[in-house]
């Protein structure tokens, strides 16, 4: 027999069976009606009561009573968060991701041409389905990779155990989370090292996971103790790839640096006001001819300043644009950049407290040497208009080292 209940009865039952969800909603209502504007700190704090995806779905269903002033969670986000709230957005994305909810902000421009979350936000959920691995692993594949795993783990453990790394981590994060303490940092680094100790390799091929057929390896967020290795690819540098992928794994525990700081690495000193725009890929020029002239001017200025042929920078930019069309956003994705940077440090033998220098990069800029991770760092450098190289390296050397995409469930190192 089907029993109908009134809306008011439903609310009472909901509050009795889910008191924490009701508390969370009441906090959001208070935050949304804050007399000086939306209290985004209170809204963020409300999600401390929400423990999983089902709780979240129940919570957002409560918005239909419009006590927040909005008919849905998405409408509230669209109206109350914009590019000026980037720090709050990152905190909210991270908080919700920890319970399996993914927020994808959709950019646009308002009538004044100012970047804004004009199209709002789309909600999706982390895929919890385990990834299949090969039952019979080719011996030549497993022996090649397994021999490098402990070496890569030890590299990271030594890096994370260095006080310099912890100090940089604390200093960088206090710019975003002012109340972060040394004790909290110690707990985060313990999680990093504990996760490394249990890390294992799992193997696949292009037939088993066709969508990853061009990847050397990848990590999957719901399975933080695994790195998946592609036996169909002949990776020339499995050790470097493991260094790269371990960074992705650590990033999903807690990024070693705030994402805004990583994005700022590739922003010119003359365009710092556009950092948030470039971070969310909002800024797109509509005047293609003017854009091309600016690109040529940037190449000419930098070729003289750095002392490299004009054609070398032109070649880097051309390749970068080609890859950007194939994988939009990949070249400057924050987690990829941190993995690239960490692998570049390993390539050059740079230890904690030491710096990557212009002299190290010059042979790769000139095309005399080649390395995948260096190429991806240079790709973002080119796509961001060749910001001053010395300034960019100073920002890189200030990082504590880490970088998720955020919007994907896995992070890959591609061929």
Q: Are residues 94 and 174 in the same domain?
A: no
Residue 174 lies in a domain: yes
Residue 394 lies in a domain: yes
Residue 192 lies in a domain: yes
Model confidence band, residue 97 (pLDDT cutoffs 50, 70, 90)? confident
Number of domains in the chain: 3
Tell me the per-residue pLDDT of 151-173, one tens digit each, with 9 for 90 and over: 999 999 999 999 989 998 999 89
Residue 38 lies in a domain: yes
Write down the pLDDT at residue 126: 78
Q: Are residues 28 and 106 in the same domain?
A: yes
Whether 361 contacts 382, CB under 8 Å:
no
Write down the pLDDT at residue 127: 73
Q: Are residues 368 and 335 in the same domain?
A: yes
Closest CA to 332 of 370, 283, 390: 283
Residue 96 lies in a domain: yes
Tell me the per-residue pLDDT of 363-394, one tens digit each, with 9 for 90 and over: 999 999 999 999 999 999 998 888 889 999 99
> Among the three residues 101, 125, 149, which one is the final residue of a domain in this structure?
125
The CA angle 394-411-283, to the nearest 5 degrees, is: 60
> Among the three residues 125, 158, 174, which one is the final residue of a domain in this structure?
125
Whether 247 contacts 411, CB under 8 Å:
no
Residue 65, CA distances (Å) to 59, 121, 125 in order: 12, 20, 24
Residue 130 lies in a domain: no
Q: Are residues 88 and 44 in the same domain?
A: yes
Q: Are residues 270 and 391 in the same domain?
A: yes
Neighbours of 4 (CB within 10 A): 5
Percent of residues, the chain, with pLDDT higher than 90: 40
Q: Are residues 336 and 356 in the same domain?
A: yes
Residue 352, domain extent: 259-399
CA distance 400 to 165: 5
Residue with the larger pLDDT of the pair 126 and 291: 126
111-115, 332-336, 360-364: least confidently modelled range? 111-115
Tell me the per-residue pLDDT of 21-74, one tens digit each, with 9 for 90 and over: 999 999 999 988 766 678 888 998 899 888 888 999 999 999 999 999 899 998
> Among the three residues 85, 100, 125, which one is the final residue of a domain in this structure?
125
Model confidence band, residue 412 (pLDDT cutoffs 50, 70, 90)? low
Tell me the per-residue pLDDT of 7-36, one tens digit each, with 9 for 90 and over: 544 454 444 457 889 999 999 999 887 666
Whether 376 contacts 340, CB under 8 Å:
yes
Query: In the predicted model, is pLDDT for residue 283 greater than 80?
Result: no
Tell me the per-residue pLDDT of 238-282, one tens digit each, with 9 for 90 and over: 999 999 999 999 988 888 888 778 878 887 654 433 333 344 443
Write down the pLDDT at residue 292: 64
Write down the pLDDT at residue 341: 92
Write down the pLDDT at residue 12: 47
Residue 244 lies in a domain: yes
In the predicted model, what is the mean pLDDT of residues 138-153?
Answer: 95
Whether 405 contacts 338, CB under 8 Å:
no
Model confidence band, residue 350 (pLDDT cutoffs 50, 70, 90)? confident
Q: Are residues 120 and 175 in the same domain?
A: no
SS3 track for the chain: CCCCCCHHHHHHHHHHHCHHHHHHHHHHHHHHCCCCCCCHHHHHHHHHHCCCHHHHHHHHHHHHHCCCCCCCHHHHHHHHCCHHHHHHHHHHHHHHHCCCEEEEECCEECCCCCEECCCCEEEEECCCCCCCCCCCCCHHHHHHHHHHHHHHHHHHHHHHHCHHHHHHHHHHHHCCCCCCCHHHHHHHHHHHHHHHHCCEEEEECCCCCHHHCCEEEEEECCCCCEEEEECCCCCCCHHHHHHHHHHHHHHCCCCCCCHHHHHHHCCCHHHHHHHHHHHCCCCCCCCHHHHHHHHHHHHHHHHHHHCCCHHHHHHHHHHHHHHHHHCCCCCCCHHHHHHHHHHHHHHHCCCCCCCCCHHHHHHHHCCCCCCHHHHHHHHHHHHCCCCCHHHHHHHHHHCCCCCCCCCCCEEEEEC
Q: Are residues 204 and 331 in the same domain?
A: no
124-128, 197-201, 403-407: least confidently modelled range? 403-407
Q: Are residues 65 and 174 in the same domain?
A: no
Residue 62 lies in a domain: yes
Q: Are residues 226 and 321 in the same domain?
A: no
Q: Are residues 373 and 265 in the same domain?
A: yes
Query: In the predicted model, is pLDDT for residue 125 greater than 90?
Result: no
Q: Are residues 270 and 247 in the same domain?
A: no
């Amino acid at each position: 027999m089907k029993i109908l209940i009134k809306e008011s009865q439903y609310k009472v039952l909901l509050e009795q069976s889910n008191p924490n969800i009701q508390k969370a909603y009441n906090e959001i209502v208070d935050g949304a009606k804050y007399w000086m504007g939306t209290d985004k700190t209170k809204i963020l704090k409300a999600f401390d009561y929400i423990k999983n995806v089902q709780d979240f779905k129940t919570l957002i269903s409560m918005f239909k009573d419009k006590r927040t002033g909005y008919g849905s969670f998405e409408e509230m986000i669209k109206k109350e968060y914009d590019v000026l709230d980037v720090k709050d957005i990152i905190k909210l994305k991270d908080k919700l991701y920890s319970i399996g909810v993914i927020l994808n902000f959709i950019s646009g421009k308002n009538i004044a041409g100012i970047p804004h979350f004009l199209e709002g936000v789309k909600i999706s959920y982390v895929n919890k389905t385990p990834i299949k691995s090969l039952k019979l692993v080719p011996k030549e594949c497993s022996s090649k990779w397994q021999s490098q795993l402990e070496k890569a783990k030890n590299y990271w453990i030594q890096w994370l155990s260095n006080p310099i790394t912890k100090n940089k981590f604390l200093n960088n994060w206090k710019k975003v989370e002012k109340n972060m303490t040394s004790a909290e940092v110690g707990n985060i680094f313990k999680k990093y090292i504990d996760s490394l100790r249990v890390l294992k390799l799992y193997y696949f091929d292009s037939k088993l996971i066709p969508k990853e057929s061009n990847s050397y390896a990848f990590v999957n967020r719901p399975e933080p103790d695994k790195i998946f290795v592609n036996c169909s690819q002949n990776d020339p540098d499995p050790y470097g790839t493991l260094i790269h992928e371990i960074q992705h794994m650590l990033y999903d525990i807690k990024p070693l640096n705030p994402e805004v700081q990583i994005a700022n690495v590739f922003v010119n000193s003359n365009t710092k006001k556009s950092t948030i725009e470039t971070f969310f890929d909002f800024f797109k020029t509509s005047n293609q001819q003017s854009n091309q002239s600016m690109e040529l001017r940037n190449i000419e200025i930098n070729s003289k300043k750095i002392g490299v042929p004009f054609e070398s920078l032109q070649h880097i930019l051309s390749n970068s644009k080609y890859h950007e069309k194939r994988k939009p956003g990949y070249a400057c994705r924050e987690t990829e950049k941190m993995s690239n940077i960490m692998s570049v440090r390993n390539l050059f033998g740079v230890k904690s407290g030491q710096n990557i220098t212009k002299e190290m990069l010059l042979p790769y800029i000139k095309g005399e040497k080649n390395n995948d991770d260096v190429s991806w760092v240079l790709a973002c450098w080119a796509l961001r208009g060749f910001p001053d190289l010395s300034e960019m390296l100073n920002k890189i050397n200030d990082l504590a080292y880490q970088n998720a995409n955020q919007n994907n469930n896995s992070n890959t190192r591609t061929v």
